[in-house]
Amino acid sequence: MQLDVVKQRLLDDALDSYAEELQRDPTDATSAVTLGYTHSIHRSWRTALRMLPVREQWSVLDVGCGLGVLAFELAANQAVSVHGVDIDARFIHHAGRLLERLDGLQLFVPGARVSFAEGDIHALDVADGSVDLLFVRELLQFLPDPAAAVRELLRVLKPGGYACVSDTDDQLYITWPPSDAQTRLVDAVTAVHRQRGGDRHTGRKLSSYLRRAGFEINSMVVLPEAQHRLVDATDAERSLVVDQLRSARERVVAAGVLSAEEYDAGLAELEAESPHEEFRMNASIIVLGQRPV
């Protein structure tokens, strides 16, 4: 798939602007953090998109679409019909607002269509065998039964259709030097994730889930990202990490993993860290599965 560099900048600017608006709304911190995070990972995902077989007039489904970043990128570059589904009504609301804004900027190619709706990966409101290509990114790690979700993906794909599924694996994440405060908080969030049936090692299991559901494995890619940077109060990525941890406070405290005082002390310690150099590496595992013909 070819990506227009000029449209990339237009989309990035629009998303950054909308993220700033969301950050000024204290009643919807989750949407602000989600847009910041998904936009961040999507920048590196453009490498993967360039390797994918995307054809005009295809029906594309983005499951767990968040605020619609992937759908917008696809429709900006190819005359496809993209439908985004997410279980969070707030994300669908903001995706609709962004769609109107980007349409006004004439981001989308002629013939492209974008729509969004609330939906659950376990029971998609999509007809059997109706989708040419679907995406599931960073979602299966949260599900107690990802195998059941993958079987639902197979149902909606056309014979010969593709499922592009990606997820994280914590053993691919490295920072140096480590931050004691950040480690304590991330470990607490991970513990809650595990209590809810999630799995931070889902990345290595994706191909097995797909094969057992009946997919053929077309290809696999590890999408790496590495940085060496100065971490200080002006660092956007550090701010995003702090925002993510702050948004997780309520569920960590409710789960009894840390007390409110312990969590707040960890956040204060993290925010008070002196400027320092840091190496960070992370990677997503991407599997392209195909429904047998």
- Give the Cα separation of 62 and 71 in Å (integer): 7
What would the two tokens of residue 51 be? 């390797």
What is the pTM assigned to this prediction? 0.91
Cα distances (Å, whole numbers) of residue 102 to 12, 15, 191: 11, 9, 39
pLDDT at residue number 28: 87
Q: What amino acid occupies position 57?
A: Q
CB 122 within 8 A of CB 101: no
- Give the Cα separation of 71 and 73 in Å (integer): 5
CB 86 within 8 A of CB 125: no
- Give the Cα separation of 218 and 149 in Å (integer): 19
Instruction: Identify how many contiguous H helices and E strands the chain contains and give both numbers.
Output: 10, 8
Instruction: Give pLDDT tens digits along the chain (293 positions).
Output: 999 999 999 999 999 999 999 988 888 888 988 998 899 889 889 999 999 989 999 999 999 999 999 999 999 999 999 999 999 999 999 999 999 999 999 999 999 999 999 999 999 999 999 999 999 999 999 999 999 999 999 999 999 999 999 998 999 989 999 889 999 999 999 999 999 999 999 999 999 999 999 999 999 999 888 889 888 877 777 787 888 899 899 999 999 999 999 999 999 999 999 999 999 898 999 999 999 99
CB atoms inside a 10 Å sphere around CB 264: 14
- Give the Cα separation of 280 and 293 in Å (integer): 42
